[in-house]
Homo-oligomer: A and B are copies of this chain.
Amino acid sequence: MISRKDVLKMSGAGAFALAASRATELMAGATLMNGAAPTPPPDLRRLTTADLRALPKLKPAAAIRRTGRKRTFTLVLAPAMIEPLPGHSVQLRSVNGIAPGPVLRMTEGDDVEITVVNRLAQGTSIHWHGIPVPFPMDGAAMMSQQPIAAGQQFIYRWVAPQAGTYMYHSHYNDMEQADSVFGMIVVDPQDPGREPHYAVDVPIAVTSIDWEPARNIEAQAVLANSMLMPAMAVNPKADPNPGMGDAMERMDMVEYWCFNGKTFPATEPIRVKQDDLVRVRFANITHMTHPMHLHGHWFRWIAQDGAPLPDPRPMNTIPVDPGRTIDIDFIANNPGVWPLHCHIVSHMVDNRDLMSGLVTAVVYDGYSLPTMMQPYQTTTN
């Protein structure tokens, strides 16, 4: 993809030399990619939502019994160097060394015990967002508990609720949330027959990471002897040209927009086989709503906030609001390589106009990864 700067230069008088050099590489005609054959005969079934509408719904739990099984987790909060794009690191508050933290998976009725160890320089508390825990376990600092002091730990205990997608995050202050003290919780049903069988089931945690050094508290110490601008200059997002893009877009671009802690093209692809039933679970801790769009397929919106929808609806773009979990599913009935991305343009390009941010690809068996994703994955198909 040609950059904004190049385009600008192309539009200026006498600047076609540079344009031509990049154009040679990027614009060598509209060749089909990925060894695509000529258009195959159309699959008429794919042109309606009939198959999707015929899928069974998620059945909500009528009641839950305790399993008697104890699930223990430990979440260690500590600063860590994180690479939203390999080669470009920021220091963040992390959970178990990653940001966002690990997905916690359990079954309805499990006895859950989570030890939160605070190795940050300030207090914290963890809120189990969407889970109807008893009041003392809610993790809302100054509401249900004093913050967990630096160097201390706290044990949260609750019983896993009805099957669905939930999240956990700091409820101490916004900088911890912004730094991705946040993760997803997936609860499976006691009776697996209440849900369709998913060949692929992908949780996607949506975060935004400021590249502003001032926001990265621990990083600030590292950068203490640096000027701000040089620090920014080593950052791939750090050269915004104030003459380009509108204010909204420039603002969005001071953040790494991430799926599971990575920004495109370092995001993990979703690998599927023809006829797979695929489930994607979104959880959004950012400050903006992201309308997630899938190419080539309709999907169903099947659940939100851990609760199945009584009326799953076919669509191809679903707004995922801050603080919400959204589950969708789709039938892998259209072989190829299909972008899945936020449709707010400034969340899917960087300030050089290269594709970046909240983008991944659904890649069918037998198809190669998009070229730009290949350096970040160990296999290319």
A residues with a Cβ closer than 8 A to B are: 1-2, 4, 6-8, 10-13, 19, 23, 26-34, 36-40, 42, 44-50, 53, 60-66, 108-109, 121-123, 125, 127, 129-130, 132-138, 140-150, 152, 154, 157-162, 172-175, 177-178, 210, 212, 214-215, 217-218, 220-221, 224, 243-252, 254-255, 287-289, 291, 293, 295-298, 304-307, 309-311, 313-317, 319, 321-324, 334-339, 343-346, 348-349, 353, 355, 361, 367, 370-372
Q: Is the CB of A349 within 8 A of B287?
A: no
Q: Which of B65, B66, B130, B173 is A2 in contact with, Cβ under 8 Å?
A: B173
- With a CB–CB cut-off of 8 A, which chain B residues contact A324? 291, 315, 317, 319, 343
Q: How far is the CB of A317 from chain B (nearest CB, A)?
A: 5
Decide: B315 and A26 in contact? CB cutoff 8 A: no
- Decide yes or no: A298 and B37 within 8 Å by CB, A121-B7, A317-B305 being known contacts: no
Question: With A122-B7, A214-B244, A349-B173 as given contacts, are A39 and B336 in contact (CB-CB < 8 Å)?
Answer: no
**Assembly stoichiometry (copies):** 3
Contact B353 A125 (CB under 8 A): no
Q: Are A147 and B339 in contact (CB under 8 A)?
A: no
Q: Do residues A220 and B344 form an inter-chain contact, with CB atoms below 8 A? A: no
**Given A122-B10, A173-B1, A296-B132: A44 touches B65 (CB 8 Å cut-off):** yes
Q: Which of B13, B27, B321 contacts A291 (CB 8 A)?
A: B321
7 closest A-B pairs (Cβ-Cβ)? A135-B336, A323-B343, A27-B149, A36-B136, A307-B314, A174-B345, A291-B321
Which partner residue on chain B sits nearest A343 by CB separation? B323
Instruction: Report the bound CA distance from A143 to B359 in whole Å.
Output: 12
A66-B44, A305-B298 known; A143-B370 Cβ under 8 A: yes
Given A214-B244, A251-B248 in contact, is the A344-B287 Cβ separation under 8 Å?
yes
B12 engages A221 (CB within 8 Å): yes
Q: Which residues of B contact A345 (CB under 8 A)?
A: 174, 177-178, 287, 322
Partner of A60, one of B4, B48, B251: B48
State how many angstroms separate the Cβ of A145 from the closest Cβ of chain B.
Answer: 5
- A147's closest neighbor in chain B, by CB? B27
Q: How far is the CA of A96 from the CA of B117 in the complex (A)?
A: 52
Q: Are B60 and A50 in contact (CB under 8 A)?
A: yes
* 30 cross-chain CB contacts under 8 A: A1-B142, A6-B122, A7-B121, A10-B121, A23-B123, A27-B122, A30-B146, A30-B148, A32-B136, A32-B144, A32-B146, A36-B144, A127-B295, A135-B336, A138-B336, A138-B338, A143-B337, A143-B370, A144-B337, A175-B353, A214-B244, A215-B246, A289-B289, A291-B323, A304-B317, A310-B313, A311-B311, A317-B323, A319-B324, A323-B343
Q: Is A315 in contact with B310, judged by CB distance below 8 angstroms?
A: no
Binding site of A, secondary structure by majority: helix, strand, loop or mixed? loop
CA–CA, A122 and B27, complex, Å: 8
**Residue contact A146 to B321, C-beta cutoff 8 Å:** no
Distance (whole angstroms) from the CB of A98 to the closest CB of chain B:
21
